[in-house]
Structure 1
Amino acid sequence: MDAMQVADTGHRVPKTYRVRTEIEAILGELAEGDPVPSERDLAARFEVARETVRQALRELLVAGRIRRQGRGTVVSRPKMLQPLSLSSYTEGALSHGRIPGRLLVSWDDVPADADTAAALGLAPGSPVMHLERILLADGERIGLESTFLRLDRFGGLRADYDPTTSLYAAIQAAGVTFAAATERLETVLATPREAALLECTTALPMLLLHRHTTDSTGAPLERVRSLYRGDRIAFEAVLRE
């Protein structure tokens, strides 16, 4: 097969795309955790430069098909699907057979900036509770969640809430109902700090989810900024007419 084979569309197929397709066929015959052939072996098999193989592997890494393990590369499990719904991260992870977890980064009272104040119905500078936590799936770091809550309404959480568990469950246990949410999803790159917390590089595409939630009375509950590794998670929504 020529490295720049002409496709049915009449356009030339980039060499990297052809190599990536060939590697994907190899991955289809392997199981999760199996080692991926080395760059040298793949370059020899496809008679291409190692840089071509390296680029194809980078694309497969971003796509979540493979992952780094030590000094090598292995086949990754499929991306975790997280629903765009009022369910919590915990519920979403459990529904796909994953074990959810969280690591607390910080839990502070901070003055609300203009966006947070508007989302929570407060005056700018009002004190709000801020929780920053790393989201885990089967022990792997896949997201960084930053949650802002009204201090005058949820300050009592400090007494007995375990921040490594579901915040939604704790709020619902207090008799509060999550009724509606507005979400915005976009692609971004992580800052050096965020990449360090998520144990990835700043070149890895991220999915950034903004959420404003209200209760059954229409009162604002939270403002959430969640950053997810684009190679480990995908989102899905059920649409009905």
Structure 2
Amino acid sequence: MRTLDLGEPGGWSSPDPAGGLLWRFQATKVAVRILLAVVTSLFMLFVVTFIGRSQFSDWQSLTGPLGPLGNTSALWVNTAFLVLASISIQVARMASRKHLRSTVAAATVIAGMMAAAFIVGQAILWGRLAEFGFTVSVNPAISFFYLLTGLHAIHIAGGLIAWMRSMERVWQRQAMPVVNAGLELCAIYWHYLLFVWLVLFALLTSKPETYAAIAALCGLR
């Protein structure tokens, strides 16, 4: 409820600033969902292009014995980092509902560390692949690998920016409804990026026969 205050410009003030913040968070949540719809369209476009391109004769499998993803252990480790980040942000979100500030702080810190570890792990993997001669221009398959994983990492980095804002609210000991609202936005975004990564992981490590079946199903052959 807003009250008249002649001492302020405009004559209006809010006795509940947290309520105003929560209203903005609701509007931001709608914006985040719209953003995710756009991002989904972007990734789907690249995935369809990937499948279509895989049907050309010059396509080389990423997962062959001598391929760049012949050993997927690094990808599994990075996936574990991202899963832990998603779990941690969810724990922080649930703890904020119960006003457990210490748990919120610890879980939020862990979430950020795991997300950062994922990006670092991906960068290390890219570097190792380049050292073995699998640079972006070697063949179309590896080019798509760098494109898809790089695009995903950029979105994770964007999620870390939102995470930093949530950490600021936690350390400033802002009202728990405000902290929870921020963590909810982070959780929605991070859970989504985990799902996208799992899809990309499955796609990039699939066999050519799988690509052929998907291409036939989508009418790309």
Instruction: Give the TM bin, normalised by the shorter chain.
Output: under 0.3
Structure with bigger RCO (C-alpha 8 Å, 6+ apart)? 2
Structure number with higher strand proportion: 1
- Pick the structure with more helix per residue: 2
